[in-house]
Amino acid sequence: MCKAMYHNHDHLRLSGDPKECNNPFLHDFNTVLNSQQLQVLSEKTQLIPSSKNCNNRLSHSIDVCNVSSLIVDYLNIRMKNNKIELINKDLVKAISLAHDIGHPPFGHTGERSLDTIMARKGGFESNAQTIKMLVNSPFNGTFRTLTSLLKHKRIIPEVREEYTGLIKGYYGYMDNTLEPIFSVYQESVLEQGIVDIADTLSYVISDIKDLIEFFGEIKFSQLINAHFKNSVVFDEARHAFTNLSTTELRHLVLNTIRDINENVLKGLLKGNIKRKSMHEKSIINGFISNISIEINAQKPMNSKLKIPIQDQLKLFLLNQITRKCFLEREINLEIDRKIDNLMNRTFEYLFYLNAEVSMLPFEKQAVHNVVNTSSDIDKARYVCDLICHLSEKQIINLTNNLEQKIISI
């Protein structure tokens, strides 16, 4: 007889809806898959804004769904050999598709803009927003889905007098709502680890592909060569891998740089589309085959995944390529400033809306709620919700129309 991976409480929902379906996790997956909130991710930035040829939040989420499914297939061999109930793939796919559903337009830059605005009103954070959305209609996710998505189990401060950056957590007003989940799950569940790894694998590879598309192969190669020759690479790794000796880390860094150049970048830079796609799959499968699992015999749902130190370093250095070659360069910092302006103007327009007619395609009830909400904190939270339903194109069109309105006056 197999040890249980799932229990009756995993299928509960916070609404206590008695009309439960036969396959709760498949129901969660289908609800996310068919939601407007998922579809609008196709018009939200993953890394490069306003690029038709680069990944968006939806393509990334679908990729995470595919990678997490491969990880489940790999791990379920271990589960079967250890006579443990198999990991539910419908659940993992639901979590994968939903994990970025709370992201606002313009990726992490948009997220930081809203958090800055909300610093004294309870904050804004994409994972907290995901949980807020998944708790409510139309999703009403199962306990197991929600706990798998809840990455940071701490309250975001209601007021930050001095803004020092994004705080990962959940919104304080949801504390009582989430208490039933906290009381059931004291530790992270296995599915969260699976999707976290799939998410990381997906974005480090897709970011490299997008940078090649954005800069072109020659310019990107020049940036890589300049970055990998810089001693800063070792210094950054030393801060992240403090458990390794200087000699050991230096040796690992040199070997990993060589590995990335030969076995990752070369295949993504050279060859036709089909060959590059095969190479990408090979990279992902290589990472997955190195994952190990520490099975919790008493509570299989709390089993832990481990990635070998060599692969941790490889993922770290690949992520640093994105940071040094794009995120921290002036070309992106200028984009960030423009996005911040767009987000602030959109928030201000909605917050100070004084008539139940909007330049944005919201239902009348949504506009009515904004206009008639008396509490500034409640109104600001509601405005954040509305902004998360918008595409980037809609925000750009709004700000252009506002500019024309000012000029015409």
pLDDT in tens, 239-269: 999 999 999 999 999 999 999 999 999 999 9
Q: Where are the domains of the chain?
A: 21-190, 191-331, 334-408
Confidence (pLDDT) at 206 = 97
CA distance 186 to 256: 36
Mean pLDDT of 307-331: 96
Which residues on adjacent β-strands are paired with residue 304? 294
| DSSP-assigned states of every residue in 362-389 | --HHHHHHHHT---HHHHHHHHHHHHHT
Indicate the fold that domain 21-190 takes in CATH.
Hypothetical protein af1432 (1.10.3210)
Q: For residues 32 and 140, is the Cβ–Cβ distance under 8 A?
A: no
pLDDT in tens, 74-118: 999 999 999 999 999 999 999 999 999 999 999 999 999 999 999
Question: How far is CA 234 from each of CA 231, 248, 319, rounded to the nearest angstrom?
Answer: 6, 11, 14
Q: For residues 345 and 339, is the Cβ–Cβ distance under 8 A?
A: no
Amino acid at residue number 229: K
Confidence (pLDDT) at 405 = 58
pLDDT in tens, 337-396: 999 999 999 999 999 998 877 888 888 888 899 999 999 999 999 999 999 999 999 999
DSSP 8-class letter at 9: G
Q: For residues 150 and 188, is the Cβ–Cβ distance under 8 A?
A: no
CA distance 313 to 85: 32
DSSP 8-class letter at 324: I
- From the list 216, 230, 396, 196, the residue with the least C-alpha distance to 328 is 230
pLDDT in tens, 40-67: 999 999 999 988 899 999 999 999 999 9
Q: For residues 105 and 391, is the Cβ–Cβ distance under 8 A?
A: yes
- ∠53-55-60 over CA atoms, to 5°? 155
Cis preceding linkage at 18, omega within 30:
no
Measure the CA dihedral 306/327/393/213, to 10°: -80
Q: Which two tokens stand for residue 395?
A: 């925000």
State the pTM of this model.
Answer: 0.95
In this model, does residue 409 exceed pLDDT 80?
no
Confidence (pLDDT) at 17 = 62
Which residues on adjacent β-strands are paired with residue 293? 305
Question: How far is CA 151 from each of CA 4, 124, 127, 129, 193, rounded to the nearest angstrom?
Answer: 23, 15, 7, 12, 10
Confidence (pLDDT) at 205 = 97
Question: How far is CA 355 from each of CA 328, 368, 401, rounded to the nearest angstrom?
Answer: 41, 8, 17
Q: For residues 269 and 213, is the Cβ–Cβ distance under 8 A?
A: no
Residue 136's contacts (CB-CB under 8 Å, 6 or more residues apart) are none
Which residues on adjacent β-strands are paired with residue 152? none
Element at 347 (helix H, strand E): helix 330-351
In this model, does residue 407 exceed pLDDT 50?
no
Higher-confidence position of 22 and 203: 203
Element at 344 (helix H, strand E): helix 330-351
